Chain A
Amino acid sequence: MTEISGNISIPTGYSRFGLMQYLVCLKGILIREGLRYLHQRERFISSLVRPLLWLFIFAAGFRQVLGVSIIPPYQTYVLYEVYITPGLCGMILLFSGMQSSLSMVYDREMGNMRTLLVSPFPRWFLLISKLLAGVAVSIVQVYAFLFIAWFWGVKAPPAGYLLTLPALFLAGMMLGALGMLLSSMIKQLENFAGIMNFVIFPMYFASSALYPLWRVQEASPLLYKICLLNPFTYAVELVRFAFYGKIEWMSFIVVCGFTLVFITGAIIAYDPSRGLVIKKQEGGNN
């Protein structure tokens, strides 16, 4: 980031920046995020291993060799591995979104964030750029996972791999924005375990990622209602339908809505004049 802020010579007011400058800034953030990802090889491997473990081990146990009942968007019987795959894509996006939130907290603790935040560009732009960078990285992870799953015999219609890209992007934005909002509330790096317990696991398990909702409803009507209130359910369904070239409008609206809410929340939270970060910093010593 220092390089980029160095390039901008007269930071008298961001309204004067042209599109080019904005793009340069975005590029800088994207490259930084990409490099950070590439340099943390274990992160790349762990982001792949996690869903693959679910696919190879968890799904194997629940294989339901006789097929999962037909529910839209499926037109015929599918194996459990096929059912769980969109959920695992959602899982990658969810973990990745939370991981970005972790990196935000890390940046704040290490002081890197100051470099970002002193940039003369508007705060909202910086945050959205960061978000876009995070989503781009997580989409790469999703495709790497799908590539391996292909050899495991989990195949969607070929066009589905392209059609699902916008859905992955939207879902990634929503979950990334949620991570960003959460990061503004976390005081210290150590608190990330709390995110695991109170955000990632409940969101992942109380959704349609692992079981069709009709099955959840059979088991517990309350859990079914919780699943319906969980935005992650809609993110997964959006991705699932997109694989088969269909748009699930309800999911689309819910995901877009939550993305807006989370982004707005994060922008407010990171606003230096009234944000939560200020309050946190008053309390903390960073």
Chain B
Amino acid sequence: MRHHMCLLAATVALPFLAQPSWANMVYVSNEKGNSVTVVDSQTMEVVKTIDVGQRPRGITISPDGKIVYVCASDDDTVQMIDTSTGEIIGSLPSGPDPELFTLSPDGKTLYIANEDDNLVTVIDVESKGVIAEIPVGVEPEGMGVSPDGKTIVNTSETTNMAHFIDTSTHEITDNVLVDSRPRYAQFKPDGSEVWVSAEIGGTVSVIDNKTRTVTHKITFEIQGLRSEQIQPVGIRISADGKKAYIALGPANRVAVVNTETYTVEKYVLVGQRVWQLAFMPDGKSIISTNGLSNDITFIDTETDEPIKSVTVGQLPWGVAVSPN
């Protein structure tokens, strides 16, 4: 009898134990829902919803996949979620109204844009202490870190600049003027370029990291849409550096850009007001958060076709995927 029970227990437990390692968890911050939705990337279904602070926006995950960091903008804090239990295990001092942040490649330092105070706050994750506060332009928003961790780029929405900051001295070394309301900065994986999206300007500026000048400007055109409806926000560049994906906000599309020719190859239709993006660790798909339709869309990066949209919480904003 006992033997049978053991067998039964083993049978029941097996599917859980045998969970394939490539099932990554997708963490989505819901700006209005005040929650983080966890989606299984393999089944593409919601696994769990975690209540967090008010107005969660920026979200990222530690390189080891153990901690998810969420900016709770209206609570003026960065919350830490233990990915194994799904519970909030603490918070980091962030300064007021943190919107977006970036984690250094070694996972030790967090660079936070404080929208209201025109500051970039540098936090030591381990000691939870503020290392530095760097004054930048008005309404800092986008944050990008170079692959070597030596440079961070902050964009200020009102000043319309990309500020290059040396991470060793915590000082601005270069200011590059871009188009109106820069939202996001993303380094190419080889660190040669920084791509900065301008929401109102409707462009993406490509900045050479050596000369710190704008070398290319990418524009978008979608038949049947007014140009004001095309508002580039989130940017992600594939690991091989060949393709860039750009979320176009109320155009409900993600643009696929060839990084050699700087031309748009395709527009992928996703949900309403697409905001941020995140690659799966294997690079085979990319996920977009669609704020107004309350869902995320998985896009196959080989065919650049949308696969499936999954409903998450209210007003999904950012997305982070657990590493392998």
In the assembly, what is the distance between CA of A189 and CA of B231, in Å? 59
The verdict on B95 contacting chain A, using a C-beta distance below 8 Å, is no
Interface of chain A residues 53 through 73 with chain B (CB within 8 A): 63, 65-67, 70
Complex Cα gap A66–B271 (Å): 8
Residues 283-324 of B contacting A (Cβ, < 8 Å): 293, 295, 297, 306-309
Query: Chain A contact residues: over half helix, strand or loop, or mixed?
Result: loop
Give the A-B contact count at a CB cut-off of 8 A: 35
B225's partner among A65, A70, A76 (CB-CB below 8 A) is: A65
Separation of A70 and B224 alpha carbons in the complex (Å): 21
B123 contacts partner chain A, Cβ-Cβ < 8 Å: no
Chain B CB within 8 A of A46 CB:
no
A14 near B: Cβ within 8 Å?
Answer: no
Quote the shortest CB–CB distance from B162 to chain A (angstroms).
30
Residue B109 at the chain A interface, CB threshold 8 Å: no
The answer to whether residues A63 and B224 also contact, given A75-B308, A75-B309, A77-B306 and a CB cut-off of 8 A, is yes
Contact: A77 with B297, CB < 8 Å?
A: yes
Q: Is there contact, CB below 8 Å, between B309 and A77?
A: yes
Interface on B for A, CB 8 Å cutoff?
222-225, 251-252, 269-272, 293, 295, 297, 306-309
Q: Known contacts being A63-B224, A65-B225, A67-B252, is A75 close to B307, with CB within 8 Å?
A: yes
Tell me what chain B mostly uses at the interface: helix, strand, loop, or mixed: loop
From residue B232, how far is it (CB to closest CB) to chain A in Å?
17
* Alpha-carbon distance between A219 and B223 when the two chains are bound, in angstroms: 28
Q: Which of A67, A75, A77 has the most CB of B within 10 A?
A: A77
Is A78 in contact with chain B by the CB < 8 A criterion?
A: yes
From known contacts A77-B297, A79-B269, infer whether A65 and B309 are also in contact, taking CB-CB under 8 Å. no
Complex: how many Å from CA A67 to CA B222?
13
Contact B309 A78 (CB under 8 A): no
A67-B271 Cα distance, complex, nearest whole Å? 8
Which residues 16-68 of A sit at the B interface, judged by CB distance below 8 A?
Answer: 63, 65-67
Which residue of chain B lies nearest to A60 when distances are taken between CB atoms in the complex? Answer: B224
Q: How large is the interface on A (under 10, 10 to 19, 20 to 34, 35 or more residues)?
A: 10 to 19
Chain B residues whose CB sits within 8 angstroms of the CB of A66 once the complex forms: 251-252, 272
Q: Which residues of A contact B (CB under 8 A)?
A: 63, 65-67, 70, 75-79
Question: Are A67's CB and B269's CB within 8 A?
Answer: yes
Distance in angstroms from A160 CB to nearest chain B CB is 13
Of the candidates A63, A70, A75, A77, the one whose C-beta lies within 8 Å of that of B252 is A77
Contacts of A70 in B (CB 8 A): 295, 309
* Inter-subunit contact A76/B306 (CB<8 Å): yes
Known A65-B222, A66-B252, A67-B252: A78·B269 in contact at CB below 8 Å: yes
Distance between Cα atoms of A79 and B223 in the complex (Å)? 13
> A253: shortest Cβ distance to chain B, in Å?
28
Bound together, the chains give a CA A76 to CA B270 distance in angstroms of 7
* Those 3 A-B pairs whose CB atoms lie nearest each other, nearest first: A65-B224, A75-B308, A76-B309
Residue of B nearest to A64 (CB): B224
Q: Find chain A residues with CB under 8 A from B269 CB.
A: 67, 76-79
B302 to chain A, nearest CB (A): 14
Chain B residues lying within 8 Å of A79, measured Cβ to Cβ, are 269
Q: How far is the CA of A10 from the CA of B297 in the complex (A)?
A: 68
| B295: min CB distance to chain A, Å | 8
Query: Can you name the residue of chain A whose Cβ is closest to the Cβ of B44?
Result: A75
